[in-house]
Structure 1
Amino acid sequence: MSRRTPRRGSGQRRGDARRREPRGRSVVGQRYAATAGPIAHGGHVVVRVPVTSTDGTTASRVVFVRHALPGERVVVEITEGTEGDRFWRGDAVEIVEASPDRVVPPCPYAGPGLCGGCDLQHVALPTQRELKAAVVREQLSRLAGLELDVVVEPVPGDADTHRGLRWRTRQRYVALPQGRGMRKYRSHEVVPVEDCLIARRDAREPAPGTVVERVEAGEAAHEFEVAADGFWQVHPGGPRVLVETVLDQLAPRPGESVLDLYAGVGLFAAFLADRVGPAARVVAVEGDRTASALSARNVPSAEVTAGDVATVLGASYDEAFDLVVLDPPREGARRAVVEAVTARTPRAVAYVACDPAALARDVAIFAEHGYRLAQLRAFDLFPMTHHVECVALLRPDEAATPDR
Structure 2
Amino acid sequence: MNAEMVLERVAHGGYVVGRLDGKVVFTTGGLPGEMVRVEITDRGARFDRGWVTEVLKAAPGRVVEPCPIARRCGGCDWQHADAATQLQLKTAVVAEQLQRLAGIAWEGEVEAVPGGLLDWRTRVRYAVDDDGTVGLRARRSHDIVALPEQGCLIAAPGPTVAELEAAAEPGVDLEVTVADGGVTLTSGRRVTGPDPVRQHVLGRTYAVAATGFWQVHPAAAETLTRAVLDGLRPEPGERAMDLYCGVGLFAGALAGAGCMVLGVEAGRGAVELARHNVPEGEFLALPVERADRKMPSWADLIVLDPPRKGAGAAVVRAVAAREPRAIAYVACDPAALARDLRTFAEAGYEPVSIRGFDLFPMTHHIECVAILHPAS
Contact 1:325–1:351 under 8 Å retained in 2: yes
SS in 1 for 2:125: coil
Equivalent residue for 1:24? none
Equivalent residue for 1:64? 26
Structure 1 residue 173 corresponds to structure 2 residue 126: yes
Cα distance in structure 1, aligned partners of 2:124 and 2:290: 33
Show structure 2 runs of 5+ residues with no match: 160-175, 178-184
| Structure 1 residue corresponding to 2:156, chosen from 184, 200, 215 | 200
Equivalent residue for 1:286? 265
SS in 2 for 1:92: strand
Contact 2:43–2:49 under 8 Å retained in 1: yes
Structure 1 residue 374 corresponds to structure 2 residue 352: yes
**1:290-342 per-position Cα deviation (integer Å, ceiling 9, x unaligned):** 111111111111111011101101x2214210000010000001100000000
SS in 2 for 1:271: helix
Q: List 4+ stretches of structure 1 deviating above 3 A.
A: none
Equivalent pairs counted in the alignment come to 344
**1:157-209 per-position Cα deviation (integer Å, ceiling 9, x unaligned):** x2xx2xx0000112111124253111111101111113100001226356257
SS in 1 for 2:256: helix
Equivalent residue for 1:255? 237
Using structure 1 for the length normalisation, give the TM-score.
0.83
SS in 2 for 1:342: helix
Cα distance in structure 2, aligned partners of 1:232 and 1:393: 22
Q: Where in structure 2 are the equivalents of 1:4-403 lying within 5 Å?
A: 30-50=1-21, 60-82=22-44, 85-111=45-71, 114-156=72-114, 158=115, 161=116, 164-176=117-129, 177=131, 179-194=133-148, 195-202=151-158, 204-205=176-177, 207=186, 208=191, 210-217=195-202, 221-276=203-258, 280-313=259-292, 315-398=293-376
Deviation at 1:152, TM superposition (A): 1.0
Using structure 2 for the length normalisation, give the TM-score.
0.89
Contact 1:212–1:223 under 8 Å retained in 2: no
Q: Partner letter of residue 337 of structure 2?
A: L
Q: Partner letter of residue 11 of structure 2?
A: A
Cα distance in structure 1, aligned partners of 2:213 and 2:143: 25
CA RMSD, aligned part only? Answer: 1.3
Q: Percent identity?
A: 50
Contact 1:136–1:150 under 8 Å retained in 2: no
SS in 2 for 1:199: coil
Cα distance in structure 2, aligned partners of 1:297 and 1:332: 27
Deviation at 1:212, TM superposition (A): 3.1
SS in 2 for 1:155: coil
Cα distance in structure 2, aligned partners of 1:261 and 1:154: 26
Q: Partner letter of residue 285 of structure 1?
A: V
Cα distance in structure 2, aligned partners of 1:261 and 1:200: 29
SS in 2 for 1:168: coil
Deviation at 1:369, TM superposition (A): 1.1
SS in 1 for 2:242: strand
Cα distance in structure 2, aligned partners of 1:81 and 1:215: 47
Cα distance in structure 1, aligned partners of 2:277 and 2:144: 38
Deviation at 1:210, TM superposition (A): 2.5
Q: Which has the higher contact order (CA 8 A, sep 6+)?
A: 1
Deviation at 1:65, TM superposition (A): 0.4
**1:217-271 per-position Cα deviation (integer Å, ceiling 9, x unaligned):** 3xxx111111101111110000011111101100000100001000000000011
Contact 1:264–1:292 under 8 Å retained in 2: yes
Contact 1:381–1:389 under 8 Å retained in 2: yes
Equivalent residue for 2:166? none
Q: Partner letter of residue 245 of structure 2?
A: A
